[in-house]
Amino acid sequence: MSSTIDTIVIFVFSAFVLGIGLLFARTGRNLKSFFAGGEAVPWFIGGLSLFMSFFSAGTFVAWGSIAYKYGWVAITIQWTMCLGGIITAIWLAPRWKATGALTAAEYVKERLGSRVQKTYIYIFLLVSLFIKGSVLYPVAKLVSVSLGFPLVPSTIVLGLFMIAYTAVGGLWAVMVTDILQFVILTCAVLIILPLATEAAGGFDTFTQQAPDGFFNLLNGEYTLGFILAFALYHIFYIGGNWTFVQRYTSVESKAGARKVAFLFAGLYLISPVIWMLPPMLYQTINPTLQGLDTENAYLLVCQKVLPPGLMGLMITGMYFSTSATANTTLNVVSAVFTNDIYKGLINPTASDQKLMFFARFFSWLFGLGMIVIALLVPSAGGMVEVVLSIGAITGGPLLAPPIWALFSKRLTGKATFLITIISLLVNLFFKMILPLLAGIKLSRGEEMMLGVGLPALMLISYELWTVFHQKINPDYENYLTVKARKKAAQLLETEEEKEEIHKQNRFGLRVIAFALAFTAFLLYILSWLTSSGTWLVAGLASVILILAYIPWHASEKIKIEVANTTNVLN
């Protein structure tokens, strides 16, 4: 492939995205607008952003590796995310919106106390650094291998770029990038799929040459027990992860929060089939990959079938998807430390200007930590091992208790603290200590079942015990008082602030429309330069250009609402 054309494509799109971040530099007036989009983000924007925040190059590296080795089970695994989205839409997202909290950490403090909040913040920080650092590694590896750049400098440069526009632009900059890279990535995969099918000799040849059991719903170490445990884990993760909670609280209403999660679920019903087929096809094209080399299956099939320019488009999409999930986490972590640590504990009377300074400072600080973790991933056993192990150890203990508290009036801060700590210690013992002491190692399914099953069982047991002994949580009434006071304060929001929020959201939608139109223009240029798939690329560019009208039309509706508000005041 011609690395020159691919490099140009990567740098043009990257410079464009950085420019988008700079456009939002002056739109964040306070914490609410910087971290929550003024709590008036359109639900379809929030839903697409949630979907891409869950997505990363790790999806192609980790799940692509499983798809190459085991086949359809990689799709089965990702369908558990669809189930988690449906459960969240029906029961969890509306309740998060009803809390009135800016961050999940704020809710934890109000409902379960400051000790639980501090414990969760510190653990959440460590977990976020490890998980999001681990997803920065694969995209740096992709760029390094495909363009011939050294791995360490690639990791550092990509990480710094990722941090820059998050620290500058806040939530809207993250969401605009989410939408843009969703479009780019979808286009790239839709181009790869027919070309990879052709390279495999056609779909009939692919199905005939695939290994035995390749199209089974379950395969290898990914058993029914693992799938059930992973489904439960994703109910907790999608419904309770602080990063995703931000998407439910940043929309205007509980109905909007529900639509955000339903859109996520719908996308995860369809997308795994489309995105996992290329590495499955590559199994019949080149069945010789072994060990960690299977993590390169997606990149290798891209290199085999994509002409110059389109390979750069695919790498750009993978990088954007990684930056989306990492940037969302950066935005949330900096929100937690600015709103709940600096403002809540250190300087409660800080001005908006000072809070915005620390918001950007924390974004840079934690972003640099992610880069360090990314550099350490190879020594930890690779992408799949890091992601699944961290999820099994921390997912249930950290996410299940706050979700339970959304429904339970009896759960106390002390009980939450004990359940979290005990579950974490037990999971760490079975994951790290028992294999060293006795040589006993849990299977992937047993590990995941323990991780999510133990805290769920402890929460159910505690709830039944409090019901039997007629125990009432005395702090719950205080929480209701705080919640009512916060709701009353929101009603006193000035018309000037409401109008500023409308302006910010109208601006964001128009930037999305412009970004889509610009992407269509670049794809038209690529369709002219590419040696294959010309009409396919041009057709996708036309579809994107038509889709640009949707956010533009939505921005015009906001303009009308602002005008009507002004007329009423006059």
pLDDT tens digits, one per residue of 152-166: 888 888 888 777 766
- Residue 376 and residue 357: Cα distance in Å, rounded? 30
Residue whose tokens read 């988008």? 20
- Residue 355 and residue 370: Cα distance in Å, rounded? 23
Query: Of 309, 302, 261, which is closest to residue 285 (Cα–Cα)?
Result: 302
Task: Give a yes or no: residue 564 inside a domain.
Answer: no
DSSP 472: -
Torsions phi, psi for 251 (to 5 deg): -90, 175
Torsions phi, psi for 222 (to 5 deg): -95, 85
CA dihedral for 231, 232, 238, 243, sign (positive or negative): negative
Tokens read off for 344: 């809540």
Task: Give a yes or no: residue 568 inside a domain.
Answer: no
Number of folded domains in the chain? 1
Residue whose tokens read 């934890």? 108
- Residue 26 and residue 38: Cα distance in Å, rounded? 14
pLDDT of residue 171: 60
* Interior angle at CA 486, CA 506 and CA 128, nearest 5: 70
pLDDT of residue 36: 44
Task: Give a yes or no: residue 463 inside a domain.
Answer: yes
Per-residue pLDDT of the chain (570 residues; tens, 9 = 90+): 456 788 888 888 878 877 776 676 555 444 444 444 445 678 888 888 888 777 666 677 778 999 999 999 999 999 999 999 999 999 999 999 999 887 788 899 899 998 898 888 878 777 777 776 776 777 777 777 666 778 788 888 888 877 776 655 556 666 777 787 788 888 888 888 999 999 999 999 999 999 999 999 999 888 898 898 889 888 998 999 887 898 898 888 899 999 999 999 999 999 999 989 999 999 999 999 988 788 889 888 988 888 878 888 777 777 766 666 666 667 667 777 777 677 777 788 777 777 777 777 877 787 788 888 777 766 555 555 555 667 678 888 999 999 999 999 999 999 999 999 999 999 889 888 888 888 888 887 788 889 889 999 999 999 999 999 988 888 888 888 888 887 776 665 556 666 766 777 788 788 889 989 988 998 899 888 877 778 888 998 999 999 999 889 888 877 544 444 444 334
Q: How far is CA 279 from its chain centroid?
A: 22
Contact 136, 374 (CB under 8 A): yes
Contact 130, 386 (CB under 8 A): yes
DSSP 494: -
pLDDT of residue 562: 43
pLDDT in tens, 68-90: 999 999 999 999 999 999 999 99
What is the enclosing helix (H) or strand (E) of 330? helix 310-335
pLDDT of residue 446: 85
CATH number at residue 117: 1.20.1730.10
- Residue 83 and residue 419: Cα distance in Å, rounded? 25
Rounded to whole angstroms, what are the CA distances from 493 to 32, 100, 224, 496, 557? Answer: 12, 14, 51, 8, 22
* Interior angle at CA 315, CA 142 and CA 77, nearest 5: 75
pLDDT of residue 422: 96
- Cross-strand partners of 219: 222
Contact 407, 98 (CB under 8 A): no
Q: The whole model's pTM is what? A: 0.81
Length, in residues, of the chain: 570
Contact 45, 172 (CB under 8 A): no
Within 148-296, residue ranges assigned H as helices are 151-199, 203-209, 224-240, 242-249, 254-285
Give a three-class secondary structure readout of 414-451: HHHHHHHHHHHHHHHHHHHHHHHHHCCCCCHHHHHHHH
Task: Give a yes or no: residue 563 inside a domain.
Answer: no
Task: Give a yes or no: residue 565 inside a domain.
Answer: no
- Residue 386 and residue 135: Cα distance in Å, rounded? 10
Task: Give a yes or no: residue 566 inside a domain.
Answer: no
- Residue 302 and residue 147: Cα distance in Å, rounded? 13
Rounded to whole angstroms, what are the CA distances from 63 to 56, 208, 216, 376? Answer: 11, 23, 16, 20
pLDDT of residue 456: 93
Query: Of 431, 196, 418, which is closest to residue 306 (Cα–Cα)?
Result: 196
Tokens read off for 181: 């890279």
Q: Please report, to the nearest 10 degrees, the dihedral formed by the alpha carbons of residues 325, 328, 333, 336 taken in order.
A: -150
Q: Which residues have C-beta within 8 Å of that of residue 152, sequence separation ≥ 6?
A: 375
pLDDT of residue 509: 85
Range of the structural domain that residue 513 is part of? 3-330+337-557
Q: Which residues have C-beta within 8 Å of that of residue 271, sequence separation ≥ 6?
A: 51, 78
Query: Of 81, 407, 80, 373, which is closest to residue 244 (Cα–Cα)?
Result: 81
